[in-house]
Amino acid sequence: MNDRRDGMGAIPFEGGTAFRVWAPHAEAVHVRGDFNEWYGDATPLESEGNGYWYAESPDARAGHEYLYAITHAGNTFDRIDPYARQVTSSVGNAVVYDDAAFDWEGDAFVIPPHNELVIYELHVGSFVAESPDQPGRFDLVQERLDHLVALGVNAIQIMPVAEFAGDRSWGYNPAHIFAVETAYGGPDAFKRLVKTAHYMGLAVILDVVYNHFGPSDLDLWCFDGWSENGKGGIYFYNDHRSATPWGDTRPDYGREEVRRFIRDNALMWLRQHHVDGLRYDMTPYIRSVGGIGLDLPDGWDLMRWVNTSVRDEFPGRITIAEDMQRDPRVSQVGDDGAAFHAQWDGAFVHPVREAVTAMDDLHRSLDEVIEAVTTRYNDDAFQRVIYTESHDEVANGRARVPEEVNPVDSQGWHAQKQSTLGAALMFASPGIPMMFQGQEFLQDGYFRDDVPLEWHRAESFGGIVQMYRDLVHLRRNAGGDTRGLTGQHVAVLHANHDDNMLVLHRWADGGPGDDVLIVANLSHREHRGYRIGVPAEGHWPLAFNSDADVYNPDFSGIPAADLHADADGHDGQPAGATLDIGPYAALFFRRA
């Protein structure tokens, strides 16, 4: 038939709904649902001769529930549509969903340039909730976007929202990757969140999971009845390559229909849901069986195909890999690269967290901090996402940074000083900075999907919130005089290992309004009259002092002042200046 509708799953059109499903080992396929009173044989699908089955129903409309009845080896069983855009639950029915019915009201948001991004990672179920017994929803997140706008971030990264088992989860156990989690509000509610975020100037980056599916509530398992070696059937590897840390459910990246299934999913989020980027979960398990190396070349090739498709169709948007193995090929374009725009950088988070959480100054490694600050991939500072807290770093046996600093007093002086010093180093370093929900008001403990943020802390620690706001302001060059923080360049001007003192120079093109000088004291001792080298003589106004008592009356409040660089060179620089700095503090100076 030449007039068959393109696409997969349920495809609404003016005269009804078309259905297409891939089930190469099925002997017969029927679709049953509200539109045919769930009668099993009422709507048969016709084989298209290539493993796909197709039918049209003039009675099926958006909102109707349905299932596929698949016959294999004489047995008939129900399956949820793998391409279902909406489900009643992870173990319920598929729902015919019309993407075109949503009114985007002309949404044409453009994500900021990658070197200007400041990301805020959040989990819908715990970001905000009406009660501890109910998981959060998209509409509740939407109501808190004004806090993020006031904080100054310009992108939110949302942990996975594809339908998962139950109502509470981190989201890394996707049961139906095309459907939006019902407990969060479903597809229309997610689109409203994205549309509102865009209206308020926030890009939306979505976490997706392609290294495994499930492992529970997984209708993809033995979808059409066929499997080998007791494995998962057509959507999965049916040999040793199926094994992952999360179950025997790695997709078969070498099978064309599965590759297209994953690519279709990635592009759906950008096309139909208007998201501005994708962050792939644990890419080492896409490119290798054991998480090390490249022994799954089909997985590597799949990532390159999807990322190149995104680059071609959506220039300017961003794909991010959680790879954590410092491999420049991950964010490299070309035959050898996976073509991600950026990757989460283990070279930053681990040494910086160790430096700022150690209680003994002797246990800080300035060399490791310097390496963390200066690491780059493919000579591009913005091919990495840098952070001190993420959902992984504050769970699985590790707590939030303030609690790592002092488990007995996670709200005390040391916890506040050292955690904010880590944040200052993040915003001072080349890369795309990312915060994790609640970091700005010293959320402690460890991340759990059933424990909502304690929003009262935003008022209790209003000074710390203001500090993060000031740091974001500087990082985004909101005042027009710290452009160097969005630039490619960094130089270490001074490294005093005995006193744990570090001086950095950041710049894009250099000169007034561009050059930024950062002084970091990773020690419990304050310094008075401390001399450093400066790139140019003249006036360097103080732009930020993390030790200021405006952030906390208990901070030392050393009256850090502007730098007046003289011609007496120091540290190999043409000029020099003296300064005062408090303990565990960072100072930012701009070039007037």
**Does domain 9-101 fall into CATH 2.60.40.2890?**
no
Q: What is the pLDDT at residue 40?
A: 86
CB 521 within 8 A of CB 585: yes
Confidence of residue 396 (pLDDT cuts 50, 70, 90): confident
Q: Provide the residue ranges of all domains of the chain, joining segments of one domain with +.
A: 9-101, 119-218+278-296+319-475, 483-590
Global confidence as pTM: 0.98
What is the C-alpha R_g of the chain?
Answer: 26
**Is the pLDDT at 170 greater than 50, yes or no?**
yes
**Domain pair 9-101 / 483-590, same fold:** yes
Tens of pLDDT, residue by residue over 188-233, are 999 999 999 999 999 999 999 999 999 999 999 999 999 999 999 9
Nearest residue to 492 via CA among 351, 347, 582, 374:
374
**pLDDT for 335:** 79
Higher pLDDT, 437 or 560: 437
pLDDT confidence bin for 2, thresholds 50/70/90: low
Q: How far apart are CA 239 and CA 408, in angstroms?
A: 49
- What are the pLDDT digits (tens) for 118-145? 999 999 999 998 877 888 999 999 999 9
Averaged pLDDT for residues 519-542: 97
Pairing of strands 119-122, 432-436: parallel
Tell me the mean pLDDT in the region 575-579.
97
List of residues 6+ apart from 50 with CB closer than 8 A: none
Whether 74 has a pLDDT exceeding 60, the answer reads: yes
Task: Read off the pLDDT of each residue in 446-462 and give the average, rounded to a whole number.
Answer: 96
* Average pLDDT over every residue of 376-405: 96
AA identity, residue 511: G
Q: Is the pLDDT of residue 375 over 50?
A: yes
Residue 250: its pLDDT value, please?
98
CA 378 to chain centre: 21
DSSP assigned state of 113: P
pLDDT, residue 397, reads 86
Mean of pLDDT values over 48-61: 97
What letter does residue 238 receive in the DSSP assignment?
Answer: S
Please name which of 418, 410, 431, 460 lies closest in space to residue 546, comparing C-alpha atoms: 418
3 state DSSP class of 422: helix
Average pLDDT over residues 377-405: 96
pLDDT at 110 over 50: yes
Report the relative pairing of strands 384-386 and 119-122 from DSSP bridges. Answer: unpaired
pLDDT score, position 374: 98
Residue-wise pLDDT for 319-340, tens only, equals 999 999 999 999 999 878 999 9
Select 119-218+278-296+319-475's CATH number: 3.20.20.80, 3.40.50.10320, 3.40.190.10, 3.40.50.1220: 3.20.20.80
- Domain 483-590: which topology? Immunoglobulin-like (2.60.40)
| pLDDT on residue 1 | 46
For residue 224, give the amino acid letter: D
Q: In terms of C-beta density within 10 A (0-12 exposed, 13-18 middle, 19 or more buried), how is residue 549 classed?
A: middle
- Single out the residue of 433, 326, 339, 327 nearest to residue 389, CA to CA: 433
